[in-house]
A and B are shown apart, each in its own frame.
Chain A
């Protein structure tokens, strides 16, 4: 049985269809990222899994349970981190962790949990006075205090400084090791790539791509060579010399659809040397996840 299962989910807000026939599932011990631009339907999907919204069509199951109809059975087994807020503004992390721990029969030790997310230093500062990143880390800690089997983290690293991000990534990786299924949303590619085992790219409520970060990059065309050179070169001639497609993406910026082997680089530099053309900014590597994302969501320029 998958830990979470979304089957042909449709969610509407009045006339607006926020989620449109979305299907996705994840197993225990898997970290799934829902990646997409703002307004893509990520939060709506997660909130349907959490039981906050009812599907208009389709169904969702968490640990085999219906999040609305079987709420009482499900709620002790999941951990929720909302996109923002969710904590009494006057409460300190120490008190909040103790209070949330008191909801569960076998909670994580609150002090230990605060140490894990790096909040001991501000354990007695009220939530209102914490930085955005500290508030996010407290919210994460509260989601995990009940030892959930499935954790839903909505934009867990948004507004968090680099040190905080490291702490959050470490905690999330630890969850995978304990067999917890983690479903997180993010609009940041780098976070999805670093945190997740598997990424589902969502745009306008639909799945537009899915797979491991490596798979996604492979589907987008694999490896390439990018370089800068004078604008308006004869790309057809270079293409014949390289035996691969060459495009001038922007004036003076070229992309060759070919793996950056030493031989290919040598062929490129030889071709340029024959014509006495300067070479600038040579980059060998893969399509970045960003290329994939922009192509799939159509939110980049060309």
Chain B
């Protein structure tokens, strides 16, 4: 061949490539109004409203003791499942995922960058939500390490669910399904309504869902001496394995 062989194009170093993609993903999330509303607006509103207006049938003396961990669980679900699922669904619909398949980024790095971006947004949520909850009288204690472990497991589980929808449904259907699931899990997730207030049959279902397991785990981890029930760990672990595997087997890139 001729001049073209003089310099064979090479990919950027893996670290630089990952950092650039993750930064771009975070930037896009923070520039999307609806994402910010979902990630911060709604959790802050729910937290403040129900802490100040005592209408929730919480089983704690002060609503914020229940709402603090519950809203953190909601924040994780919003970002890892709803925001990631909807964005990825539209990226798939617009051919972005297909196009990225013929760049040096490749699919494993794209997934890694998306994971890093989700964790970064979750960190921002924690930085905003914890002071608000503390300001409202929440006194978190317990074992932060356990809480972080639960958040990581739940992030994997919710991201798996989000990607399962994004990889199989049309973008508009993903949008609808993710929002529907968000509302369902919000109500059945022990985030604003305690599981103890649900009818027995519904409670049994709810206890098998990742949302209730996360809110239960966070409540347990951040209260008293910090303890997470084996049940919550089992449920979180099952979803953290099952959902991504299901997503991986069903995901269609175009």
Contacts and interface: CB of A to CB of B under 8 A. Distances in A.
A297 B200 CA distance: 70
Contact of A105 (B10, B95, B96, B106): B10
B33 to A, nearest CB: 10
B15 to A, nearest CB: 11
B10 A102 contact: no
B91 A88 contact: yes
A89 B94 CA distance: 7
Interface string A101-132: 01111100000000000000000000000000
B105 to A, nearest CB: 5
B90 interface: yes
Contact of B12 (A1, A27, A86, A103): A103
A106 B9 contact: yes
A56 to B, nearest CB: 19
Contacts of B4: 3, 28-29, 149, 178-181
A131 B206 CA distance: 48
B205 interface: no
B29 to A, nearest CB: 10
B230 interface: no
A99 interface: yes
Contacts of B134: none
Contact of A51 (B5, B20, B102, B105): B102
Given A88-B94, A99-B20, A179-B3, A148 B9 contact: yes
A74 B95 CA distance: 20
A80 interface: yes
A28 B102 contact: no
Q: Is the interface of A mostly helix, strand, loop or mixed?
A: loop
B104 interface: yes
Given A75-B102, A90-B31, A95-B24, A147 B95 contact: no
A102 B17 contact: yes
Given A99-B24, A102-B16, A102-B17, A86 B9 contact: no
Contact of B10 (A51, A91, A106): A106
Interface residues of A, number: 40
A80 B99 contact: yes
A87 B4 CA distance: 27
B10 A28 contact: no
Contacts of A95: 24, 27
Interface string B65-105: 00000000000000000000000001100111011011111
A85 B99 CA distance: 8
A76 interface: yes
B11 interface: yes
A19 interface: no
Given A29-B4, A89-B90, A76 B11 contact: yes
B225 to A, nearest CB: 46
A78 interface: yes
Interface in B96-148: 96, 98-99, 101-106
A302 B2 CA distance: 45
A82 interface: yes
A50 interface: yes
Given A28-B1, A80-B102, A180-B4, A104 B9 contact: yes
B45 interface: no
Contact of A88 (B13, B28, B98): B28
A75 B106 contact: yes
B21 interface: yes
A85 B9 contact: no
B226 to A, nearest CB: 41
Contacts of B13: 105
A213 interface: no
Nearest to B101: A52
B96 to A, nearest CB: 6
A146 B3 contact: no
Interface of A: 1, 3, 27-29, 50-52, 72, 75-78, 80, 82, 84-91, 95, 99-100, 102-106, 142, 146-149, 178-181
23 contacts: A1-B1, A29-B3, A51-B102, A52-B102, A52-B254, A72-B106, A75-B11, A75-B106, A76-B104, A77-B8, A78-B102, A85-B95, A85-B98, A86-B99, A88-B94, A99-B24, A103-B105, A104-B10, A105-B10, A146-B9, A149-B4, A179-B1, A179-B2
> Closest 6 CB pairs between A and B?
A85-B95, A86-B99, A102-B20, A179-B4, A179-B3, A105-B10
